[in-house]
Amino acid sequence: MQPNSTSSLAIPVAIIAGFALIAAAIFFSGDSTPTASPKESNTVPAATTKTVVRPVDETDNIKGNPNAPIMVVEYSDYDCPYCKIFDETMNKIMDDYGVTGKVAWVYRQFPIVQLHPNTARISEAAYCVAELGSNDAFWKFSKEVFDSREVNVQTDMTQLPIFAEKAGVNRAEFNTCLDSGKFQDKVQQSVAEAAAAGANGTPYSVVIVGDQQAVINGAQPYTVVKQIIDNLVAQLNGNDAPNQAE
């Protein structure tokens, strides 16, 4: 379901200032040029008011309120160790804020095959699960993938049909979909989107409030992401931003 663009345009100008107060580690930058060699990332985050990602729409896999005023769009690689860590962070964020309807999490595919040869196929598998099942099935499948491995271990590809079945999808239909290669182009399109948005590593996340976007590079810890969300929620509520830690 596509977020209400009219409501987004009504976001107060104070949100712009809110991005400036996100966290001490975040700085503004107009540079969104990707480098030639994507990598796993756990670098200092950067924020920009420049529009860098396409709008969230009905084609996206969204956890939480699809009309949430705060959207966290993550470009991720299922076999990236930092992505596994950040997945845990984002699940905690959604446990805390998803129920309020003010925050939603959008997962987009950014497999870096130079580092993880199988990860594009896992992305295709996720699309198959979403098509054969539902948005909820997609998120259940993704959780199975991340939870199945240790941080520095890659996914056991023989388990994908089992993960799909646990997510509520018929195993035979899943295998047929995956073997068809029907989502290869969609995965590559998502990779191209990520690169155009300035991503040169994973995870690469963009916080969107109205027409403002703040980029978070790397697996920032829960405390940093929570500070970002608390600040923006306060801005949306018309309150002063929470005091930053001394």
Q: 245 lies in a domain?
A: no
Domain presence at residue 225 = yes
Determine the angle formed by the axes of helices 119-132 and 135-147, rounding to 10 degrees: 150
How many Å apart are CA 96 and CA 92, to the nearest integer?
6
What total of structural domains would you count in the chain?
1
pLDDT by residue (tens digit) across 196-207?
999 999 999 999
Q: Is the pLDDT of residue 160 over 80?
A: yes
CA distance 168 to 170: 7
Rounded Cα distance between 193 and 154, Å, is 24
242 assigned to some structural domain: no
Instruction: Give the domain CATH number at 144.
Output: 3.40.30.10
**For residue 156, is it within any domain?**
yes
Q: What's the confidence (pLDDT) of residue 40?
A: 64
Residue 244 lies in a domain: no
pLDDT given at position 241 = 53
Expressed as residue numbers, the domain containing 204 is 5-236
Higher pLDDT, 22 or 130: 130
241 located within any domain: no
Residue 246 forms part of a structural domain: no
Regarding predicted confidence, which is higher, 238 or 112?
112
Residue 108 within a domain:
yes
